Structure 1
């Protein structure tokens, strides 16, 4: 292939977005073009390279072996283009551009969204796409530039740091406690109702807090996300396990058995090439500095506690 037949970078952008979205409509939304434009660009790229990059089906587009081989090279070009744009535009002084941040639902609502307000006021040229998810962001397909998760990537090139260690405690509504037998010891929990995660839809095995209580908990209502669990428990449905940031200080939920908790860690992760971008590092650093300064969001430091040994 001579230099005149090298693929255009714009065609490779279309290739990357289709690989990440898996459908023409998804890629067209990301690129803000018609889906026919995406199809035309991919056809042109495949003709130019003399190979098939995607297997087409009714379900969508899936990379072929040759498409998989092209992917890391296209990602390297994307990273270089982003870094060059930052440097040439003088972004070493002014943080600007869009950062896509993937965060668990309630953590986003109670912690991250309010925090972003101050940051965006300080950086008028910065924008944040906050992906508020009932699962953890898929960094492998570049769904987000960085993400908060319980299970950091174990393969691939990522920057990873512990964001915060948090403890989930037992809570219940005063109305529930008034209607049911008193809870004085862990053994008493066997007689009570629980609100928990849907067990076959766990975003991470780390969310299985109740597995080692010594009995099978009576799960009366299961939800795929913590916000719905909190609301159901506050309405008197049953006991729920949640970290302090998830429970507002409005009396709707009160602690139960303060001496028990399940301890986990949130991790911050970003693809190494995206972490080099100043705008990504700015959000990364803000999250780390804020969580380090607010330990009360993640654990109750007022009472002596001992861990409830749950999970593997």
Structure 2
């Protein structure tokens, strides 16, 4: 007979992909997780996971059960609120994925704020250069510079940020300040490694010019900013990071104003889970509240 309690083990293994990680979160032995999954598969007469060298991967039937199990989890979590006995708190893990720069320089410290209000939540912030696949549950929430595509995704624009050209005092002392956009052609720049750019909108320097002289390239925006501060060249940097470094001096800030939109995405199966709703609302409010940090020189 199907045991409802086995869904707890199924959900955690589906999210963690490994027995040891799922067992650690459930505070049981990994053999217990394996046994409960085997019993669930036997009771339902389906194979839910493919056992591979890099972990457990959901089968087609497993993905179907995941959607059902998450709806059950959502309804169970809403019981106290629906009965008027609960509060606006939530618990559990929420994995937020985004690009390195905005994750490290903008989101990290602001997501910590939520911990004070919701001590039962654990936020996992992961940064990637490529677009995250929410359909495959690589994350719960995705913050990106382009709207991702995929089945049953809820995508909304939450704000935008500005980029500006910056250089160090040392660079300006040696090479001077360009008087206008045309004068930039004779200057040296810091940029991304072209063949490692997974999301084309991050090649934002092309909105200004295609530089003929590049002294330093990196796949890391953080590394680029440090290189600009060290005086190797001019860089086009987001204000949310550049404004935190006093060694960076804005150049042609009135003439050159580059913006990128920011999108928040979540799979519709997770959209109304209490913990997802709380984190999503917090992120949306951050982009409204801290617009100066994103756009003001």
The alignment's TM-score, normalised by the length of structure 2, stands at 0.81
Which residue of structure 2 lines up, in the alignment, with residue 265 of structure 1?
A: 261
- CA contact under 8 A between 2:48 and 2:62: conserved in structure 1? yes
Call closer, same or farther: CA 1:228–1:94 in 2, change over 3 Å: same
Task: Describe how 1:9-24 pairs up with structure 2 within 5 A.
Answer: 9-24=4-19
Q: Does 1:80 align with 2:75?
A: yes
Q: Does 1:225 align with 2:190?
A: no
Which residue of structure 2 lines up, in the alignment, with residue 175 of structure 1?
A: 170
Aligned match of 2:277 in 265, 276, 281?
Answer: 281
Aligned match of 1:96 in 90, 101, 104?
Answer: 90
Aligned match of 2:40 in 42, 45, 60?
Answer: 45
Cα RMSD after superposing both structures:
3.1
Q: Distance in 1 between matches of 2:134 and 2:81?
A: 22
Q: Distance in 2 between matches of 1:160 and 1:291?
A: 15
Q: 2:270 aligns to what SS in structure 1? A: helix
Residue-pair matches, total? 294
Which residue of structure 2 lines up, in the alignment, with residue 294 of structure 1?
A: 290
Cα deviations by residue, 1:202-251 (Å, 9 ceiling, x for unpaired): 35222121345553554443333322222222122322222211113553
Aligned match of 2:53 in 55, 58, 61?
Answer: 58
- CA contact under 8 A between 2:111 and 2:123: conserved in structure 1? no
Unaligned runs of 5+ in 1: 303-312
Task: Describe how 1:94-243 pairs up with structure 2 within 5 A.
Answer: 94-98=88-92, 100-102=94-96, 103-116=98-111, 118-121=113-116, 123=117, 125-135=119-129, 138-180=133-175, 182-211=177-206, 213-243=208-238
Call closer, same or farther: CA 1:198–1:89 in 2, change over 3 Å: farther
Call closer, same or farther: CA 1:290–1:48 in 2, change over 3 Å: closer
Q: Distance in 1 between matches of 2:52 and 2:118?
A: 43
Cα deviations by residue, 1:104-143 (Å, 9 ceiling, x for unpaired): 444344433443455444x354434141424465533445
Shift of 1:263: 1.8
Q: Distance in 1 between matches of 2:217 and 2:84?
A: 50
Unaligned runs of 5+ in 2: none
Q: Distance in 2 between matches of 1:227 and 1:247?
A: 10
Q: 1:288 aligns to what SS in structure 2? A: helix
- CA contact under 8 A between 2:242 and 2:248: conserved in structure 1? yes
- CA contact under 8 A between 1:172 and 1:240: conserved in structure 2? yes
